[in-house]
Structure 1
Amino acid sequence: MLDDGSKGRVLKGPEVSRELYGGVLDFDTAGHYPGLELLNFVYCGGVDDILPRGNAVNIVRRSHDFGRRLVWDESFINDPRRHTVLLDDEAAEGTLRELLRCLQLDIPSGSKDPKWSRAHFFPYTPSLIHWDARERNKTIRLERLYLRGGGALAFKILRTDENYERNQRMKEGFQKLYSATAESPLEILAGFINEQSKQDVRPSEDEIEKLTRSNLDRFEDIYRDGVLNILEQREATSVAKVRAIMGWTGLWLVLMQNRRSRSRLGLGDTPLICDCGANSPQLRRASQRCLQEVLDNIVQSVGDVESKLPNARRNNIRSFFWATAAANGFLNAWRGRKHFTLSVDALEMIVLATIPSGKELPYERFVTEVLFERLGIAIGRGAAEAAGLVSSIDASIFEENEAQLADQMIAAGLVTQYSDATRMVSPRNDV
């Protein structure tokens, strides 16, 4: 419910988002920053308890501006730190620059080199985890640019888990996640570079996380179970787990955004129609219409909370959905006509989040029980019949769609075909 203090005034975008979804879902121009924001809260809290209880959360924000400016800021040549930290060797400096450039977190909306404040390092090791920063009046300031609140909501959901055993296992999993890279050369280098960069002198209380709300529905347990399952994958590398946690966070947030928007409007659950390459114009159009309906519902639900919110702010909340879905392989493209699909990376992340380590699940059950019943994604005939979609789309199209997805998962090593009748889904052993 809205706070009493909000009555009689026009609510701002973040307040509307919190009312609808529990936290701030805002367009970040890249779509995968919620996962990076989550890792900042988990590993930069400055306390022993990795998922602390209580109302307030403190975080030690670090900018990594030294490394980011070295790569993406031409004016860094005049920074005095360049001469005190780096050897006066252009070849060595160039090698370091190219190494750090390879660590960049992908920006799907960009076609050329970004400004340093927009470029972030992928968190391959714990010292590469960093916050947003920008330069103002020749001073580096730690402040939100792209980490706008989706990760804070995910963190709140994890740390307020009412299932004590699951909460403790998640803490243990996060503590072990980076154990294999703790003494790696990359971690040592990242730690040294991080020490040269602007960071908080003392922990700073995060107001965005403090105002987020969790334990709003049972769908939050789907997210918690997925994170725990990823953390407990014994055969997966730490990098594969980090990628999966970031992807799972983004995917769950958009699925939740759709569900809670529909709930606000009094609409029942309707699955998201996913085109996995069945070569059917009818299915493609249905998936496109499904996406448009989701986006329209988001705008309508925002208007239901605050009718006077400017269109630009409504569109930011709406755009969070498609940008985050596209960046995490749940839409076919960032630009142009879009429809729901599942990339290989998205499939790998879903498998890691839903199939326990060392276990297998029949492909047909994965499509029905995991994708449809648990996540609300319609692929095959069983889901189409249960959702009443076969009244407008021939059931054989969904059968072909399910077969195409199986072929993709077999090629990716996520499905093992033991016979014509037996196909089993399991996490890849080489991730």
Structure 2
Amino acid sequence: MPDRSKAEVVFDLFGVNLEQQGRGYYVSLELLAIARGVYEVDPSALLDVGSDVVSYIRASHDFARRIAVNATIDPKTLAEAVDDEETLATLQALSSSLLVQIPGRRKLPSWYNTHLYPFVGELIHYDAAERRAAGTKRDAPKVPHIERYVFRDGGSWAYKVLRTDLDDSRRNGTRDGLLELVRDSESALGEIARSLRAHDDAKDTKPYEDGSESDIKIYEDRSPWPEYLRRGVNFIVSRAQLPRAKRIESLMHWVPFCLARHQLHLARSSLAQPSETVFVDFMKDATPLRRLSQDALDGFRKNIVNAIIARATTLHDDALAMGNESLALRYTRHMSQSAVGTGSPRSFFSETLAAVGALNATTGRRHFTMKPPMLEAIVSASLEPGSEEEFYSFCARLYEDYGIILDERTAGENDLTVDVDASVYERNSDAFRSRLAATGLLTQYSDATSIVHGEPR
């Protein structure tokens, strides 16, 4: 049997198995795939609070994804779907332009490592891989097969968080907003996607009964981030005046961000550490604030490693107390820096934040920032649709809710100007204000009055 002790430690600590392979946008893609699949079975069952078994259709979209990367396709299947080379070239250009861009990739990946951006409901799909058909020889060609490959339960965690929202009014509003995003668009792009899907090799012949969600633990008594996810998703999907693509983009960034911050919060609380302070740098040049941000990120990554080591040690001791020495030995493997230091859970945290634009880069010396799509997502998730807030009041709430510090007033009120002078924070808040204005999310009425709003103007 394979050694699953590391996954057991991670699952026990975070309530969900966080792996590097399922980082970043894959969290949102999995969430949307589940929501779309439930819609195809029974739209009224979306976010149903009454069942731990979620029934949904899994579409692979393997045909479109293989066309996008020019992968091998059975000539007969291709001839049935595409009239001529010119049509194929057009489909390749279209499908390749719809692929989700994964930061840090240096070459075009295989088709099952690529996913279509869910601009419309018909493009949303599940995960897949290449496997030999059951009962075939070892040298038999591999064929598309629906399964979890880069989807690693992050989206299932998010779906469960939304489904178990005890605020019925908000949950119903989130359900209605999600339905609007995942339903058939009846657009030209949707028609093309539906036609391509008809030629998939990997298809669900009946609804998939997913009971894995029942094992996921939300730990909302230990972390505020499940609640922030519920509130933020509700605000995002309820912005009916924004285009569907803009709401989808905000979900793509907000959901993984929440899971990564949830992971960090659980790690720090398990180590009896206070809630984290995230120093967000919007300036172009290096300052003491940037160094503080870099050091904080390094510390957070160490928190995750140390939390895993501590939890593995606890499980090891518990196994010994029960007289199970073989199980204790398995946990021993995860009780050192060398075993966990470069591990997948730590990489999930930093690479997820980098993917969604909450870090400046995917490699090298990194610090916290907010690239435009992430900035738009956090504003959209923090302000109720149709509302607005004074700039410094909004900055104060970013700190109060998310531990994000970026302006001189909030820093001064919370004794955070010891290592960084207030003038540096002031320059940073000016840069933040400029970013908001550039995205249409801030209106400056005078030198003293700036208003943040959730919809661009």
TM-score (norm 1): 0.92
Give the equivalent residue in structure 1 for 2:367: 339
Q: Distance in 2 between matches of 1:361 and 1:391?
A: 28
Tell me: CA distance 1:314–1:158, structure 2 relative to 1, closer, same or farther (3 Å). Answer: farther
Pick the aligned partner of 1:250 from 252, 256, 274: 256
- Cα distance between partner residues in 2 of 1:145 and 1:277: 38
Q: What is the aligned partner in structure 2 of residue 37 from structure 1?
A: 30
Identical aligned pairs, as a percentage?
32
Q: Secondary structure at the match of 2:272?
A: coil
Which deviations, in whole Å up to 9, do the C-alpha atoms of 1:203-250 show, x marking residues without a partner?
Answer: 223354231112523432111010000111132111110111121101
Give the stretch that moved more between structures: 358-367 or 66-75: 66-75
Counterpart residue number, 2:13? 20
Q: Evaluate the alpha carbon distance shift between residue 215 and residue 312 of structure 1 in structure 2; reply closer, same or farther with a 3 A threshold.
A: closer
Structure 1: which 4+ aligned runs deviate by more than 6 Å? Answer: none
Counterparts of 2:66 and 2:286 in 1: how far apart (Å)?
47
Matched to 1:36, the amino acid is L
Alpha carbons 1:270, 1:387 under 8 Å: kept: no
Q: Deviations over 1:107-127 (max 9, x none)?
A: 112122111110110011112
Match of 1:69 among 47, 55, 66: 66
The 5 Å alignment of 1:107-186 reads 107-137=102-132, 138-178=142-182, 182-186=185-189
- 2:455 is matched with 428
Deviation at 1:421, TM superposition (A): 1.0
Q: Describe the SS at the equivalent of 1:58.
A: strand
> Counterpart of 1:50?
46
RMSD, aligned CA:
2.0
Question: Residues 94-145 of structure 1: CA distance to partner in whole angstroms, max 9, x if unpaired?
Answer: 0011011110001112122111110110011112111111112222211111
Equivalent residue, structure 1, for 2:321: none
1:187 match: secondary structure: helix
Q: Which residue of 2 aligns with 1:297?
A: 303
Cα pair distance change 1:131/1:244, threshold 3 Å = same
Return the offset for 1:30.
5.6
Aligned length: 418
- Does the 8 Å contact 1:30/1:108 carry over to 2? no
What amino acid sits opposite 2:53 in the alignment? A
1:400 partnered with 2:400? no
Q: Among residues 87, 90, 96, which one is paired with 2:91 in the alignment?
A: 96
Q: Distance in 1 between the 2:365 and 2:22 partners?
A: 18
CA distance in 2, matches of 1:242, 1:12: 36
Q: CA deviation at 1:278?
A: 6.5
**Partner AA of 2:190 in structure 1:** E
1:272-308 CA distance string (max 9 Å, x none): 1111107343111111100000000000111111143
Paired residue for 1:82, among 74, 78, 83? 78
Matches of 2:405 and 2:298 in 1, distance apart? Answer: 16
Q: Is the 8 A contact 1:178 1:238 kept in 2?
A: no
What is the TM-score of this pair, normalised by structure 2?
A: 0.87
Whether the aligned pair in 1 keeps the contact of 2:229 and 2:258 (CA below 8 Å) is yes
Cα gap change, 1:400/1:36 in structure 2, threshold over 3 Å: closer, same or farther? same
